[in-house]
Structures are given as structure tokens and as C-alpha cells.
Amino acid sequence: MKKKIFLGCLLAAVTVMCFGCGIDTLKLVRENMSEVTQVYYYGENEDFAISIAYGQRENEYKVDGKSGDNVDFCLLTLKPTRKSADELKKLTLSVDDNEQELEILLNLNNGAYMLDLEKKLTGQEKISAKFEGQEVALYPISNDFKIDSKKAVEIACKELEAKILEKKKFTNLNGECYLRVIDKRQNGLEETYWCFTIFNTDGKDYSVIISTEDGSILTKSE
């Protein structure tokens, strides 16, 4: 009799963990988001591509498998078609007709020029940038995403369920999660994707690439 009761309780616990992604597991993932992009502007020409990602991320930005307190971020990234050795570039950014001259720094890891703008964006702003004599309008492509950031996290949680549960310890996720946008210049395709990654405290990471159009999976970690 005691054995039957024990097995019944065990089955109930497993059912809770494996329902969909598991409400508790999905909640843990959302509570351990170290970065999530919510608004994404993008523009390009033959010589460069420029994007602005707005959302929330760790105040002390560190990929260590542990999620800390989040703050707003607004990251401008400019990727020249041709590589440049210049450590510093200048551009003029216009947000709702308010112009500002900025200095952007080269990131040696990806060859892009980057700067945290320290602005809040809603996706309703009119934005353009002037760089080396050329002006490009940035469009809020995230407004057209049929799969928003919240839905993308749900899909990712389901797709990586086995990996998440493998590392989960009772009420601890034992990892931190990132949700970023991969635009077409980055992935070499015509479509824009979400990239969800979980970094575990043991140094291992798992990712899934999700279509912003229909939520289909391009690829994921095995």
C-alpha cells in the first residue's frame, strides 16, 4: 500500500515537470533571463548594416550561468561590409528629428562598432543614421514579428525541455537565459530569427533558433 502511494506521488511530480515545458520550469526560465530583446530597429545599404536592440539585461553583464538584476539596455551595432582597423568611428543618429553625434567603438570579437545609447525605445520612434556620408533609415522590424519575445521564450522552453530539466535542481534553474534577435545580415538569410540560449553553471550552453514569422525551428542544440 505504501509503495502504491509513493509511486502515485512520484507520478504526480513527474507530470507537473513534463506538462508542456512545465509551468514551474517556464516560470524559472523567465525569472532567469539575463538578456531579452523586445524592440529591434534595422537598416542597411551596400556598405554597412546598422541595428538598435532595446530590452533588459543584467546590470553586471557576465556569462557565468547566474542571472542577476536586470536593467534597460539600448545597444547600437554597426557592421561595415568591409573590415576596418579603425578603433573609433563617428556617426550621427536622429531619433524623432533629434540629432546627436556619437562615437562608436570597434568590438574585436565580431568586427562591429557598438555603443549603448542609454535610451528607452517603444518601436514607435522615427530613427535614421548618417555614417561616412550615407544616411540610412532604421525600421522597427520587431513590430512585424508574428512571434514576440514572450512567445519565443515559450517555444524555446518547450524545444529545450530535456536540456533544461536535466540541469534543473528542484527550484533552481542552474543557468541563465538569453533571447536575442539575429537579423538577415547576421545569418545570411532573408528571414530574421530569435536566438534563445541557456548557459548552465557547469559551462555548457544550449541554443535554439526560432523564426519570427511562424515560430518554426531552424536549428537547435542536440
Q: At what angle do helices 23-31 and 149-159 cross, to 10 degrees?
A: 120
Domain termination residue (choose one: 122, 142, 162): 142
95/136 same-domain check: yes
User: What's the mean pLDDT when you consider all of the chain?
Assistant: 86
CB atoms near residue 102 (< 10 Å):
14
Q: What pLDDT was estimated at residue 66?
A: 85
Q: What pLDDT was estimated at residue 7?
A: 29
| C-alpha cell, 217 | 525551428
Nearest to 196 by CA among 142, 165, 154, 168: 154
DSSP state letters, 114-162? EEE------S---EEEEETTEEEEEEEGGGG-SS-HHHHHHHHHHHTHH
The answer as to whether 9 is a domain residue is no
The answer as to whether 110 is a domain residue is yes
Q: What pLDDT was estimated at residue 170?
A: 56
The answer as to whether 155 is a domain residue is yes
| C-alpha cell, 47 | 556598405
pLDDT single digits (tens) 111-120: 999 999 999 9
151/138 same-domain check: no
Once rounded to an integer, what is the mean pLDDT over residues 5-23? 37
- One-letter amino acid of 49: A
63/133 same-domain check: yes
As a 3-state breakdown, the chain gives helix, strand, coil percent values, each rounded to 5, of: 25, 45, 30
Q: What is the largest CA-CA distance in the chain?
A: 81
pLDDT bracket for residue 15 (50, 70, 90): very low
163/73 same-domain check: no
Beta-bridge partner residues of 88 = 105
Q: How many independent structural domains does the chain possess?
A: 2
Domain termination residue (choose one: 78, 113, 142): 142
Structural domain that includes position 43: 39-142
State whether residue 91 is helix, strand or coil. Answer: strand
Residue 6 has pLDDT above 50, yes or no: no
| C-alpha cell, 74 | 539600448
The answer as to whether 63 is a domain residue is yes
